[in-house]
Structure 1
């Protein structure tokens, strides 16, 4: 068999691909045919992996995640990249919403005067707007925290911390898909219904995560599974409260130091 010299790593090899770095033997000159082939491959790969993964997450989430962890991965879109792509789409849609309408029912007048209330809401809405516009960052930031909680809650059932990151990447992708649907619904609904629909959407989102974990560990004994899921929810709640308290304290300190309240 003819030997080839890899143009990428200069390794001598035989065959269609370099055995050292994987580059193709035939590296033709870049032209319109190259662009067409690359576009066809990208679209085909996106449709095949992306749409397949979305379908699996809403038909058999636990089974497909378990199979991925066990090595059945070729058909799937990369889970962390999935979070980035979906969070980017969701962040853009969410940034188009009139978020202030969702929070207009909240009244802070019992705790601060009108000037402070107005200043607080102005700065608070800036933070909310930034968070929705950078949702991919928020999801990636949350991944290790949620994964730590799930690893602690289910650690006796065999998956290590990194595997929990992958589990929660898929779970996050599932939530983001539903969140994209709800963001589109928010854009269609009259603003007065946004607050009521958000409660319904939150319940569904929460239920999706429970369904995913319940189906992932469905082979476990029922009472043990319920206990582990309850522990997971409790620890998530405690972690969320801690983070909210920390953020609130830092936010108020920032507003006072900057003279905005």
Structure 2
């Protein structure tokens, strides 16, 4: 055995020096560029239901890992939004008041990746109820949410980019586009031949957003009461 390798674990005793190629390789590994994040986006835009079902049931190497995907896409939106100061025109926070509302809103705006996963969990809960006859557990539906909400973040990023360049308000349009994509993708996932699939997706989305908002409100109240005392 060469002295460069450990006789037990067969790993390099002395790792290679970190250089540009190492950094590029690490980025490729994290984003799974071997199959391609652009490939994943394309597949989720063309046939989201079919491709996500394939990921869950058969082949998990074709698409970027779902949690990584939603975090990366949320980061893309965050960077785009901050660069063009998009949300300043839609969300007004009084920086002088340390209220619970400000605390929660600031956290959500600073952690879109984690916030989307939490929100996705609430929507997944309702999807599990409305689509209970389908043989998918809560965590598999959560994987569905990571992919679908990840594409939503990219749609918001795209509209934010156009709004930043043109100065024309487009984020309401982005919300409509994201809503339509959600219903279409989720309906495709469960049963694209039934209108009820898209209706249930719509209702689950609304209920998931409402329950997520309710949680945020409760946390706001708790933070306010703690600070008050």
Provide the TM-score with structure 2 as the length reference. Answer: 0.76
- Select the structure of larger CA radius of gyration: 1
3-state SS, counterpart of residue 191 of structure 2: coil
Partner of 1:186: 163
Deviation at 1:100, TM superposition (A): 3.4
CA spacing shift, 1:40–1:234, aligned 2, 3 Å: closer
Q: Distance in 2 between matches of 1:86 and 1:135?
A: 9
Q: Distance in 2 between matches of 1:170 and 1:71?
A: 16
1:164 and 2:133 are equivalent in the alignment: no
**Per-residue deviation, residues 85-140 of structure 1 (Å, max 9, x unmatched):** 22222223323315333357xxxxxxxxxxxx896699866754543222122123
**Per-residue deviation, residues 33-74 of structure 1 (Å, max 9, x unmatched):** 997477458548426331211111111111100111112122
Aligned runs of 1:135-174 on 2, under 5 Å?
Answer: 135-174=112-151
3-state SS, counterpart of residue 46 of structure 2: coil
**Per-residue deviation, residues 178-228 of structure 1 (Å, max 9, x unmatched):** 1221232232243xx43xx221111111111101111112355x2542453
Partner of 1:217: 190
Deviation at 1:251, TM superposition (A): 6.2
Q: Distance in 1 between matches of 2:8 and 2:56?
A: 35
- Could you tell me which of 47, 67, 71 is aligned with 2:58? 71
Unaligned regions of 5+ residues in structure 2, if any?
A: none
- Could you tell me which of 224, 228, 234 is aligned with 2:200? 228
1:99 and 2:87 are equivalent in the alignment: yes
CA spacing shift, 1:246–1:172, aligned 2, 3 Å: same
Q: Distance in 1 between matches of 2:103 and 2:173?
A: 25
Partner of 2:171: 198
Decide whether the 8 Å contact of 2:160 with 2:171 is kept in 1: no
